[in-house]
Amino acid sequence: MAVNLDKALVREKIAKRAEREIENGFYVNLGIGMPTMVANYIQEDKEIVLQSENGLVGIGRSPYENEVDPDLINAGKETVTAAVGASYCSSAESFAMIRGEHLDLAILGGMEVSETGNLANWMIPGKMIKGMGGAMDIVHGAKKIVIIMDHVNKHGEPKILKECSLPLTGEGVVDRIITDRAVIDVTDNGLVLVEVAEGWTVQEVVEATGAHLQVSENLLSATF
């Protein structure tokens, strides 16, 4: 049965599930938009470092109203807090960390993902784009790339496709996709459905995916 949840609740649900990808000791980059929400759900027993392209190493949760510092922002120009022990560096040093493959994980948003792990996430059709940001560096520098996004676009069309129709950010870079409906792994043998979200069936997920989707023998249902 299809689930009809408030958009904010859906984004929260995806962000909470994405947090489970972060392991203790990881250095992590969170992309702009929905990925930044993941910082609000980091478990207290995890010692991790969130890194931003604009030079903040040690991002904390989103600030309460009385904590907002307009000079303390992430790469998406959203106000953030600094965790205990945070440090600041130039954007050049930050990108040296990324290009030097010092990030264990990057959680990014996506417009489209192909069955071979190609990612399109920097150009929104019909909207003015200031630039592609740091995603092209991140997808090649981080050791693991997890994409979080809605399973279908606002027209109900699949965002997971045989081939991306939008300009690519990177080819063969995606390891895992987390949507409001499922968790899908990108493997050498194609896309594999490993988890189905509460309220959705395997058949509904398969029908909403624009590429061949294998179902894991160890499929987990209603995990988030």
Q: What would the pLDDT profile of 86-130 be if each residue is shown by its tens digit? A: 999 999 999 999 999 999 999 999 999 999 999 999 987 777 766
- Quick check: is 216 in a domain? no
pLDDT in the model for residue 223: 83
120, 159, 215, 222 from 165: Cα distances, Å: 8, 10, 25, 31
pLDDT in the model for residue 181: 97
**Who's near 10: CB < 8 A, 6+ residues apart?**
150, 180
- Quick check: is 197 in a domain? no
- Whether the pTM exceeds 0.75: the reply is yes
For the segment 125-161, what is each residue's pLDDT rounded down to a tens digit?
Answer: 777 766 677 899 999 999 999 999 999 999 999 999 9
CB 163 within 8 A of CB 188: no
For the segment 167-199, what is each residue's pLDDT rounded down to a tens digit?
Answer: 999 999 999 999 999 999 999 999 999 999 999
pLDDT in the model for residue 130: 66
For the segment 78-92, what is each residue's pLDDT rounded down to a tens digit?
Answer: 999 999 999 999 999
User: Which pair of structure tokens corresponds to residue 11?
Assistant: 């984004």
- Quick check: is 205 in a domain? no
Instruction: Give the number of domains in the chain.
Output: 1
User: Which positions are annotated as active-site residues?
Assistant: 53
User: How far apart, in whole angstroms, are the C-alpha atoms of residue 77 and residue 84?
Assistant: 21
Structural domain boundaries, residue 150: 7-183
Rg (CA), the chain: 17
CB 173 within 8 A of CB 136: no
